Amino acid sequence: MLPAKTMLAAGTFVGLMLLPLALPQLAAYRSVDGASVAKVWDLPLPALPELNGMPSIDNLRAERAQALASQILVDPKRQLDHFYDSLLRGGTVRVVHYGDSPTTADLITADVRGMLQKQFGDAGAGFVLIARPWAWYNHRGMGMEAVNWGIDVAGRPEFKDGMFGLGGGRFRGAPGSVANWTLKSGQAQSVEVAYLAQPGGGIFVFEADGREIGSADTNADQPHAGFVTFALPPRSSEMRVRVTQGAVQLYGAEFRRDRAGVLYSSLGVNGASVTLLSRAFNKAYLSAQLAHYRPDLVVLAYGTNESGYPGFIDTTWVKEMETAVKRIRAALPEASVLLMSPMDRGELKPDGSIGTIDTLPRLVAKEKQLAVDLGVGFFNTFEAMGGRGTMAKWYASQPRLVGADYIHPLPAGAKIVGELLYDSLRDGYSEFKVRKLTERQEKERKQEQARRELLRQRASAPVKSGPAAQ
């Protein structure tokens, strides 16, 4: 309990702030605007009587499940077959998912990861950055803590060499730089740390549950991408990288399990656009990174940040996305590529309503056509979640599914989008299996037909006469 005088003082202060809201003659002295508070603080609110008619999460989910049709996932050249075939064969199936802020926070991606791993097996947590470049950087199910790192993020104009790791960040460390990760006991059996090998590079050690299990010297004659793998003791849960000598540049760590399944890495950069892959990354260095990890599926989820610039969308965006896709395909000729359109993006209209930003449907249409032209897969997130006006529905739903900027999904909204993407991939995989079974049966039918025809020909062939036949 607070002291009585403290409570009285606090109550008096709040009362003085609210008094101008009740007395029109004191309007000039208002210091609080109720409408603006809601825009700054987007807190979960209990259902109010006047909102009882608003859509619920279950209703929105059911509505999207019913409306979801084949045109949501477009794959005219069956380019996703490589991914589906990898799932069918088993082993480790890698997915790398590039995107902007929702991907940074492991929203949407965490839900897709969880559902794919439940169906096909959990091969590990995937690639995680050394430290948090942004407070909201996250990987669901993993704790992170790091100190004393300099952080360079791809896309900033001062970093012109483009030599970034798979996740678009590099982390400069010296003695005293430490990175910690916490997983559930036994959730990883090995970890691979990616770094820049370079002249004068320093040394770092890797520890598991407080015990050093290996080290790496990053010194090299010429700069190149370096990787070192450490086997973890059984039931390890606390992992640490610690710089012991000189200066190092690290990129991230990939946590793996010794079992077949999906390894799904969420590679988001806050505020990113497609130019991150088309320009900010050094082309050869990105190719080397991708070739090392060899993902079976690469998802490119950009467009939300660009949608605020109509001129860029109408003149340049398609070219930039085409460049990004061609870079990916040059590095990974066999991998499946999936373009994932942005979610709906809302804005406040003059009449006070929430409507879809005008450029977004135009961007989605251009991206869909580009996917057809390039022969890659396309997931229409915008239409899958409801198309125009979805953000108004999601902002009014109980509980709320999107933030007060009408752009970023809250966890419940992200889960719906993740379910929609997973459902489409699952249905595509099921169709692939049926098609392969049908093709195999047709092949076997033709082989059997040919065998019977050969037997018939042999049976009907005339018997040769001659000394050997007498």
More confident residue, 52 or 411: 411
Q: Same structural domain for residues 248 and 278?
A: no
Q: Same structural domain for residues 345 and 224?
A: no
Residues 6+ apart with CB under 8 A from 246: 174, 200, 201, 202, 203, 218, 219
Task: Identify the residue whose tokens are 């066999």.
Answer: 334
pLDDT at 10 over 80: no
pLDDT digits (tens, 9 = 90+) for 135-186: 999 999 999 999 999 999 998 877 878 999 999 999 999 999 999 999 998 8
Query: What one-character DSSP code corresponds to residue 175?
Result: T
Contact in structure between 327 and 283 (CB atoms under 8 Å): yes
pLDDT at 331 over 80: yes
Q: Same structural domain for residues 167 and 109?
A: no
The CA-CA-CA angle for residues 413, 416, 417, to 5°, reads 90
Average pLDDT of every residue of the chain: 87
| Boundary (domain end) residue, out of 203, 229, 258 | 258
Task: Please state, as a whole number, how many other Cβ atoms lie within 10 Å of the Cβ of residue 115.
Answer: 20
Q: How confident is the model at residue 61 (pLDDT cuts 50, 70, 90)?
A: low
Q: What is the mean pLDDT of residues 334-363?
A: 96
- What range does the domain containing 286 cover? 52-123+260-441
pLDDT at 41 over 50: no
Q: Same structural domain for residues 118 and 152?
A: no
* pLDDT given for residue 253 in this prediction: 98
pLDDT at 44 over 70: no
DSSP string for 32-56: --HHHHHHH-----PPPGGGTTSPB
Q: Same structural domain for residues 307 and 180?
A: no
* pLDDT given for residue 437 in this prediction: 87
Q: Determine what percent of the chain is predicted with pLDDT higher than 90.
A: 74
pLDDT digits (tens, 9 = 90+) for 417-451: 999 999 999 999 999 999 988 888 888 888 888 88
DSSP string for 56-91: BHHHHHHHHHHH--GGGEE-TT-TTHHHHHHHHH-S
Q: Alpha-carbon torsion 60, 65, 69, 73, what sign?
A: positive
Q: Same structural domain for residues 284 and 431?
A: yes
Q: Same structural domain for residues 104 and 147?
A: no
Q: Same structural domain for residues 94 and 207?
A: no
Domain of residue 350, CATH code = 3.40.50.1110
pLDDT digits (tens, 9 = 90+) for 354-388: 999 999 999 999 999 999 999 999 999 999 999 99
Q: Same structural domain for residues 422 and 273?
A: yes
From residue 409, how far is each of 12, 48, 60, 104, 308 by CA, in Å?
38, 22, 14, 12, 17
Q: Give me the number of domains the chain comprises.
A: 2
pLDDT digits (tens, 9 = 90+) for 172-220: 999 999 999 999 988 999 999 999 999 999 999 999 999 999 999 999 9
Q: Same structural domain for residues 203 and 268?
A: no
